[in-house]
Structure 1
Amino acid sequence: SSEDRAQCLIDAFGRENVYVEIQRHFLRGEDRVNRVLVDLASKFRLALIATNGVQYAKPYGRQVLDVFTCIREHTHLDLAGKLLTQNAERHLKSDAEMRAIFRDLPDAITNTERLADRLQFSLENIGYEFPEYPVPDGHTMNSFLRTIVLFGAQQRYESITKKVKRQLEEELALIARLGFSGYFLIVWDIVNFCRENNMMVQGRGSAANSAVCFCLGITPVDPVSNHLVFERFLNESRKGWPDIDLDLPSGDRRERVIQEVYRRYGKHGAAMTANVITYRGRSAAREIGKALNFSPSTLDRFSHLFANGDFPHTIELEAQIEQAGLPKAHPRMPAFVGLYHAIYGLPRHLGQHSGGMIICQNKLSSFVPLENASMPGRVVAQWDKDDCEDLGIVKVDLLGLGMMSVMQDAFELCRERGRPLDLAHIPKGDAKTFEMMQTADTIGVFQIESRAQMATLPRLKPKCFYDVVIEVAIIRPGPIQGDMVHPYLARRAGKEAVTYFDERLKPVLERTLGVPLFQEQMLKIAMIMANFSGDEAEELRRALSFHRSEERMNKVSVKLREAMARNQVAPEVIEKVLHSITSFALYGFPESHAISFAILAYGSAYLKAHRPAEFYASLINNQPMGFYTPATIVKDARRHGVKVKPVCVAQSEWNCTVMADDAIRLGFCVVNGLQREHADDFLRERKERPFSSLEDFRKRALLTKDELRALANLGALNCFAEHRRAAMWKVEETPHEDLLDRGTLGSAGCQPANASPARTCGNLPQTSATRASDRDGSVRQAAGGGRLAACAPQNQSSPLPRMTLPERVSADYEVMDLTTGPHPMKLVRAQLPEVWRAIDLAQAKHRSIVRIAGNVICRQRPGTAKGFVFISLEDETGVSNAIVTPDLFEETRLLITEEPFLAIEGEVQNTDNVVLIKAQKIFPLIREGLVGSESHDFH
């Protein structure tokens, strides 16, 4: 009974620690329950407290809660019934509202306040301790860090100049004062683990501003020779720990590093940070539509409307929804619009951060909520990286970078083929590499393969490594919003004179032709023009950063303005400096980060130029990554003279392989629906003994029928058949099953009843394949593997005709999403006499009207583009680019976001040999058998 329960709690916790809680939500039967609770409190002399059981902030939140209830229960509002809340009383009420509701029980309010006063809990110090690094005897963490840094300096620098020594001493002293030596040692230890296990690793971000990080081998950038500002990384006034991001090859190699961190610090001493996944356009629209009981067809239109990159809209939501076929007059339109705005951006579920790990001295579970991840061997904290930073919990970012995986794989292929190469020994200043960049031939190249980068490369014309650094940094929101891009390109082309805000800034801005492009330049501008210290300049950057507050921003801007005025800076110069800094700081790019990325950009470009077979094989093996699909990568490889051989069960491996300097063989990794473990099984069988026929392959490969069909459809079985349909015919043949094994035929099988087991139909000699089949069961047997009858019909010719070329291309895309045959556009070129090929657009007259067409391989709507959309169309000769105005995009949104092939008519804009089509009309390109790859979309 309630009385027994109350007495039990009193005995356990003491009368002064037990309270009776009542709530008033004006529900039927609530008063009766509350009277019982009041009597219970009186009988046991317990304090009565009043609460409201808050579930949402505002009364309107009740409707949102009801929608979430429908989502959770997989129902809709028309059927939810008693699952829904009865009123909106569970919102966060004011003190006055609560006192009015409980005016007959004032002591309940007083007791609630007293209880709140007793609950003194703060998140300021939750007991977190960063792990101590185990140092050799006779050392402290400070002294050991100094020792290995000075040793590293001897390896990194030809001679340790006074400038280098002073920089190292200043950094080491600050690190020791702030108590961060252990952090640097732990990151150094992780880097050493990677190097000892032959894994590429490279620090990036502001850590590359540190000479200590450079000497520890964490970062590849010398901040002294590059004149980088250490305070951008670490300064005396910094709150919180430094942030060192480590780039690692994505996939298994990075997972190995993550598991090593778990091993060192224990399952409860390390965890991945979480990502809070929120409701975005498509998910919000679909879930609300389900709750409002919209038809499946309407929900599908919602998906199409908000699909592909969640492109921001420039028209009212009601007009957008009308595009999905829901008229404004629909009775549920107002509810949909209101709920959409209320739910958009709210948390949906927790995911894993891409690489953020937190570690501690003791058990994280003592103060951080942990949960097991869906991935084996991983534990995830239920807080995101910002939560952890706010609470002083140290995060180490172990980020997977697809291009590092590509480059490491390519280097290993080079070594296997007797032509070893690594990142440190790639020749600097290679003419062929820069020529490739200057012509924007950069599909697959790290950081400079996007449409915007390709449009800039022919104008910038990189001639040295620092030009690549600028190219990496210039196509960023900061330089674009700060109006830095066009002035820089104009000055580089000699169309505009190089000028400076103030002659005092020439040493800072000379390398970038008077145009500030990097965060470090912004810091130095403040230091020179306002006499700011390095700490003050970094405080300025942080105040104006992405998470800036208006109050903090105004305060530091006033300080900057006044300091420049005291330094006798002209008023018009002050305004230019302020405009540059405030617009640029929001998304500015650190020069150190750009240098780190430029090293990989140049390295990947060199591989493409000089080791194309290794480069393209590794690039395909590491998909998905980058801007382009495998289909586009294969076409680009062929345009560069690399022969791409099709998948073949007699020659292919799981990964793509290099056959010669100019030839690669596609691997089974590109085959949709083929399980890795099944492929590994038959590859082991093939290694033991090559397959002699299709029948032999079927018996030993242990594949499902669908997997066999896929291989036949794409031509992978042509080594055992005249053509694809002949292979498909043989795959569909059903061998006689071993009826003897089922005890139904007795001795009436294909062989005499007294035949030896090795020769009896269905009882094949026990190879590893048949043993695996016996274990694996009947599903894969049915495909023709394992205990198949030896008396199956043999050598029956196929009555099916060969596939036509369009049919083969279509089958390739169906099974692999790519083709080694001709581009689909080549097959329909004769039907499109008015359409320009991509390769011919350079000859089109400026401002003339042309029509282009192709497979949509990229749609992009950057936040800096003011609503304009960029579309890349691929044909058999290359890629053409179109720009779509916001109005035209809204008129043709579903067409643009859903059609795989488009024809676009528009005006030619040719600037410095960079051709762009300004779209005026957009049509779907529909031809029989026209198939292509999916688009990669960005925003």
Structure 2
Amino acid sequence: MYLNNHSYYSLRYGAISEIELLEMAQRHGCHEFPLTDINNTSACLNFIRKAPSFDIKPIVGIDFRNDAQQCYVCLAQNNQGFLELNRFLSEHLHGEKAFPDQAPPFNHSLVIYSFEKLLALEKTSFLANEFIGIGLTDINKLRFSKLSEFTDKLVVLHPVTFRDKRDFNTHRLLRAIDTNMLLSKLPESQQGKPGDKMYPLASIEKAFEDYPHIIENTKQLLSQCNIAFNFSKDRENQNLKTVFDSADTDYKKLVELCESGLPKRYDSITDSIRQRLTKELSLIKQQNFVSFFLINWKIIQYAKSKDYYHVGRGSGANSIVAFLLEITDVDPIELDLYFERFMNLYRASPPDFDIDFSSWDREDVTRFIFEAFGRNGQAALLGAYVTFKHSGAVRELGKVFGLPKHEIDKLSEGKYDPQKLDKLSKLVLQYAKYLHGKPNYISIHAAGILISEKPIHYFSATHLPPKGFPTVQFDMHIAEDVGLYKFDILGQRGLGKIKDAVAIVKKNHPDVTLPNIHNAKPFFEDPKINAMIEKAECIGCFYVESPAMRMLLKKLGVRDYLTLVAASSIIRPGVAKSGMMREYILRHKNPERRKQAHPVLWNIMPDTYGVMVYQEDVIKVAHHYAGLDLGEADVLRRGMSGKYRSRDEFQAVRDKFIANCRERGEADEVIFEVWRQIESFAGYAFAKGHSASYAVESYQSLYLKCYYPLEYMVATINNGGGFYRVETYIHEARMSGAVIHVPCINTSSVESTIKGKEIYLGFQHLQGLEKRTMLKIMSARVDGLFNSLNDFMERVSLSIEQLDILIRIDAFRSFGKDKRSLLWEAHYKCNHITTSEFQQQLFRMHTKDFILPEFTITDLESAFDQLELLNFTLYNPFILLQTPPTSSLLTTDLAIYLNKIVVIYGYLVTAKNTGTSKGERMFFGTFLDQKGEWIDTVHFPPVAKKYPFRGKGIYRITGKVVSEFDFLSIEVIKQERMPYISDPRFDVTYNRKEITKITRKIL
């Protein structure tokens, strides 16, 4: 009876979920119920999936509106109708076009116009699929309208958007947020009506008792609508089914590619390799995933044709087929990667490939995918929901209630006394709770692309975000539910660093022949590289440079590829939280400790000493220890993260896990400890193939860092750094023997460059220097180097503000003049030459040359200029201290002070904020000592609260030197940020004397 129903996916309009709508419909005795969100189909598939469990036949459609004004409500009669509605909506969303007053002639959809709309349109003729919607408030008007004569076209059209007054108030707040206006100024035209809620069916029938044909027409209309998607375990794979002519051709091509890949990947093709390949190919064909592999292969082939570097990871890295197709560089035979994590007969979803490209190359690869597979509307980016969080909701609500900014800040940050809040502030907090978790807007999944057999609009409407690619209106969970499996194409700076480093090495060492960087196996055996890893000298290298990873590498004493693979997963938060990181380290270093492993777990995971380290360990434990089948085990693994955990199938598998273990005679104490470990870490661990892929890339970057450290650091700097700020990588380059120069107009480029051991920072590092200024300099320099400030100013038209930046960073030092003299000269000339920054001078301008006094530019002055213009200084930061350090203790001295209290000075690099099991804040700090070596600190909650970090700078640290697994750190007792000396550039007395001296000299 209800044809127009809104969930909260009627974004910034609706207030209740699609499930809550179904619950309401069930309570009111509905057996057929439509969902018609406003210009949106986000909830449709999940609505269809869940409706049968409420004994309701689902119907879906769209409420088409221009702004908040309804044009018409359309219902899909079947799946083809849903397709045409999605196409119509998408066309208008993509083009940001208003919907026409009248709907197009749909073939499989029903169109309902509101009574008021038809009066305005003066529409008096109707197609077979068009109807007149009569609301509860329209009944009396109908008696006096000619529309009453269309007895077979009249249906009930009563919108359902709210449950109660609170929902209506929430709706009004959402409308105010959406229109960016005060709640008190929100016009009624932007709102629904308080009566837009669900009434008992009997009440509806009573209201229309004089028009029984309207009730009958409405029932008849609902009966015409039937839509179905398969959400069961045996659902059809909806991805593109064939890449070439047919399924047989695809399979033959896949086999051919594997056969040609065998001799490239293996020196000796053993029986075990053959057996693994045969097994995988058979299952891939049986599961209809041949095209999935071929699509990924085509993507990689395109990338290779463009010389784009890539890393293939995810569970697909457990596959020898993926290895032979060069989708991944991880050998599953060498690593004994668990086949069932990659694919099994019970697994409905295909193996997951995450393919990383450099951030620069990713956009072109995405474009290729849409051109190659999306020409018939079969490709789209995967959507994601951005939901209201407490802080953001408070800020939005504070604005619509008209609170001043300082009040909003206090509420958002939680810095208030609840007893002293006024009524409006309490309302803000109250409704922020209601909004929390509700969708705010649709965004884009970080990496997912869908390539479907049917047009993508068969499943969803699409919108067109700034990236310019169609994006579906649902997330990855819904996609998987209906049988659409994503292709993950990600951007990663690490690959850009490797690619750029190789190019820089070739330029800086033209006589050097580099090995094939894509073949990392020789690097695994290189003693110099492994020695670097053992000492954690990995700054700048992919995934192994963070303070936590440096600590783990030293604690484990990592000296080989396989241990690095384990470390890549152990570092994940879930493994640490479950206590398995510490246990793994203990067993790795102490063989006697391994005897404590549970015998079954030891047999399942001997390579990790019976410790769960990888995602597939969950499958192994569930299958071999708890007796679950592989399908149930995979449900368990997937259920450890995201919304799957709340699903019925996950809860059933959990119960079976416990019951099976009890039947096998395991004590509850052991069962629940194993379950605790699974539950605490599975959602935050890597698949082994994923870790192995990361370790391969780590070794590639480590090779470059080991043999070409300066070139690699330049590539790192040019790619925006990594875990640390750019300043840290400049420091690392200097520690490796580089001479670092600030930008120079005759030597530097936009990016940083290297010649021999000299690194010139790029213009891009100068704060406030515009991109167009950099391009002007590079363009003018094509005609020859600059020989004076006059020459520069004549060839490069700049504002005095841009010129000032270049002079103060000493970019004109090659002219042999100090920068203060150049500043006087530049300001004088800019004041006497009336030329636009954008206007090139046609004639050489002669200006008077002044004899200025000789200036002394101190290191301190230059350091402060660099701090301002680069955000860091190339000088030792310790020269900036107001008071010299009272301690000369260095990191290299710490071992002799083990378990003793020391005082050490450190320049802050980074601080990690984390929480204890009790929810208290603590920190891990990383500093550089006075010689530039690393200091690692631990700040437990009492110290963290009493002595907080106060931003960048040098800290005097008092603490106890401790050692865990031979890794030295300082447990901080006290720390204080030491004051810097006053900036001499702002010394008023000094500047007055200088100005007086200069003026006298000029005059």
Bin the TM-score by the shorter chain. Answer: 0.7 to 0.9
Output the TM-score relative to the length of structure 2.
0.77
Change in 2 beyond 3 A, CA 1:929/1:517: farther
> Which residue of the other structure, out of 335, 353, 361, is the alignment partner of 2:427?
335
Structure 1 unaligned blocks of 5 or more: 24-30, 306-319, 740-761, 763-777, 932-939
The alignment status of 1:435 with 2:511, answered yes or no, reads no
Query: SS state of the match for residue 420, structure 2?
Result: coil
Q: Which amino acid aligns with 1:523?
A: I
Spell out the pairing of 1:683-722 with structure 2 (5 A cutoff).
683-720=778-815, 722=817
> Which residue of the other structure, out of 6, 12, 19, is the alignment partner of 2:132?
19
- Give CA deviations for 1:227-264 in whole Å, capped at 9, x if unaligned: 2222212222222444211111222x222222222332
- Give CA deviations for 1:72-118 in whole Å, capped at 9, x if unaligned: 3333345557688597544x536479659958779566665554443
Q: Which amino acid aligns with 2:524?
A: K
Distance 1:346 1:836 in 2: 54
Distance 2:322 2:615 in 1: 19
Partner in structure 1 of residue 743 of structure 2 = 647
The alignment status of 1:413 with 2:471, answered yes or no, reads no
> Which residue of the other structure, out of 312, 322, 325, is the alignment partner of 1:203?
312
The alignment status of 1:153 with 2:267, answered yes or no, reads no
Q: CA deviation at 1:402?
A: 0.9
Change in 2 beyond 3 A, CA 1:371/1:803: farther
Query: SS state of the match for residue 169, structure 1?
Result: helix
> Which residue of the other structure, out of 392, 408, 415, is the alignment partner of 1:321?
415
- Give CA deviations for 1:661-704 in whole Å, capped at 9, x if unaligned: x4322112222333445423432331332222222222223444
The alignment status of 1:821 with 2:913, answered yes or no, reads no
Partner in structure 2 of residue 937 of structure 1 = none
Query: SS state of the match for residue 213, structure 1?
Result: helix
> Which residue of the other structure, out of 904, 911, 914, is the alignment partner of 2:964?
911
Change in 2 beyond 3 A, CA 1:129/1:459: closer
Q: CA deviation at 1:21?
A: 2.8
Tell me if structure 2 keeps the 8 A contact 1:738–1:789: no
Deviating more after overlay: 282-291 vs 122-131: 122-131
Partner in structure 1 of residue 51 of structure 2 = none
Spell out the pairing of 1:788-937 with structure 2 (5 A cutoff).
790-793=844-847, 795-796=849-850, 801-823=855-877, 825-828=878-881, 830-833=883-886, 844-846=897-899, 848=901, 850=903, 854-855=907-908, 857-861=910-914, 866-875=919-928, 876=930, 877-885=932-940, 896=949, 908-918=961-971, 925-928=978-981
Q: Which amino acid aligns with 2:132?
A: Y
Partner in structure 1 of residue 838 of structure 2 = 780
Distance 1:902 1:50 in 2: 72
The alignment status of 1:75 with 2:172, answered yes or no, reads no
Q: Which amino acid aligns with 1:200?
A: Y
Q: CA deviation at 1:179?
A: 1.9
Distance 1:897 1:327 in 2: 31
- Give CA deviations for 1:489-548 in whole Å, capped at 9, x if unaligned: 222332862125443544443322332212233333344334555444334323444432
Q: CA deviation at 1:443?
A: 2.6
- Give CA deviations for 1:341-400 in whole Å, capped at 9, x if unaligned: 22333333333333322234565456543333324x544334333343333334211111
Spell out the pairing of 1:467-482 with structure 2 (5 A cutoff).
467-482=563-578
Distance 1:266 1:222 in 2: 32
Q: CA deviation at 1:798?
A: 5.5
Tell me if structure 2 keeps the 8 A contact 1:650–1:691: yes
Q: Which amino acid aligns with 1:391?
A: V
Query: SS state of the match for residue 734, structure 1?
Result: helix
Query: SS state of the match for residue 181, structure 2?
Result: coil
Query: SS state of the match for residue 11, structure 1?
Result: coil
The alignment status of 1:447 with 2:543, answered yes or no, reads yes
Partner in structure 2 of residue 93 of structure 1 = 198
Tell me if structure 1 keeps the 8 A contact 2:289–2:350: yes
Q: CA deviation at 1:200?
A: 1.4
- Give CA deviations for 1:91-148 in whole Å, capped at 9, x if unaligned: x536479659958779566665554443323454999964455548996111111111
Change in 2 beyond 3 A, CA 1:858/1:3: closer
Deviating more after overlay: 37-46 vs 230-239: 37-46
- Give CA deviations for 1:580-627 in whole Å, capped at 9, x if unaligned: 33333232321111111011122223322321111100000001x532
> Which residue of the other structure, out of 276, 281, 286, is the alignment partner of 1:167?
276
Partner in structure 2 of residue 558 of structure 1 = 655
Q: Which amino acid aligns with 1:815?
A: L
Q: Which amino acid aligns with 1:640?
A: S
Change in 2 beyond 3 A, CA 1:796/1:466: farther
Q: CA deviation at 1:439?
A: 3.1
The alignment status of 1:254 with 2:362, answered yes or no, reads yes
Tell me if structure 2 keeps the 8 A contact 1:487–1:496: no
> Which residue of the other structure, out of 664, 686, 708, is the alignment partner of 1:611?
708
Tell me if structure 2 keeps the 8 A contact 1:248–1:398: yes
Q: Which amino acid aligns with 2:372?
A: R
Q: Which amino acid aligns with 1:208?
A: A
Q: Which amino acid aligns with 2:862?
A: R
Distance 2:866 2:117 in 1: 74
> Which residue of the other structure, out of 212, 218, 221, is the alignment partner of 2:327?
218
Tell me if structure 1 keeps the 8 A contact 2:551–2:967: yes
- Give CA deviations for 1:742-797 in whole Å, capped at 9, x if unaligned: xxxxxxxxxxxxxxxxxxxx9xxxxxxxxxxxxxxx4433xxxx126522425435
Tell me if structure 1 keeps the 8 A contact 2:338–2:616: yes
Tell me if structure 1 keeps the 8 A contact 2:205–2:215: no
Q: Which amino acid aligns with 1:348?
A: N
Tell me if structure 1 keeps the 8 A contact 2:172–2:191: yes
> Which residue of the other structure, out of 590, 599, 604, is the alignment partner of 2:687?
590
Partner in structure 2 of residue 600 of structure 1 = 697
The alignment status of 1:384 with 2:475, answered yes or no, reads yes
Deviating more after overlay: 523-532 vs 468-477: 523-532
Change in 2 beyond 3 A, CA 1:97/1:481: farther
Output the TM-score relative to the length of structure 1.
0.82
Q: Please, what is the CA RMSD of the aligned residues?
A: 3.8
Tell me if structure 2 keeps the 8 A contact 1:270–1:360: yes
Partner in structure 1 of residue 719 of structure 2 = 622
Q: CA deviation at 1:187?
A: 0.8
Deviating more after overlay: 219-228 vs 262-271: 262-271
Deviating more after overlay: 443-452 vs 830-839: 830-839
Q: Which amino acid aligns with 1:342?
A: Y
Query: SS state of the match for residue 426, structure 2?
Result: helix
- Give CA deviations for 1:48-74 in whole Å, capped at 9, x if unaligned: 555553445653233433333333333
Change in 2 beyond 3 A, CA 1:364/1:433: same
- Give CA deviations for 1:16-50 in whole Å, capped at 9, x if unaligned: 84132315xxxxxxx5x552146446443256555
Distance 2:437 2:158 in 1: 26
Deviating more after overlay: 353-362 vs 143-152: 353-362
Q: CA deviation at 1:904?
A: 6.1
Tell me if structure 1 keeps the 8 A contact 2:910–2:926: yes
Distance 2:687 2:407 in 1: 46
Query: SS state of the match for residue 120, structure 1?
Result: coil
Change in 2 beyond 3 A, CA 1:7/1:666: closer
Q: Which amino acid aligns with 1:386?
A: H
> Which residue of the other structure, out of 290, 306, 310, is the alignment partner of 2:399?
290
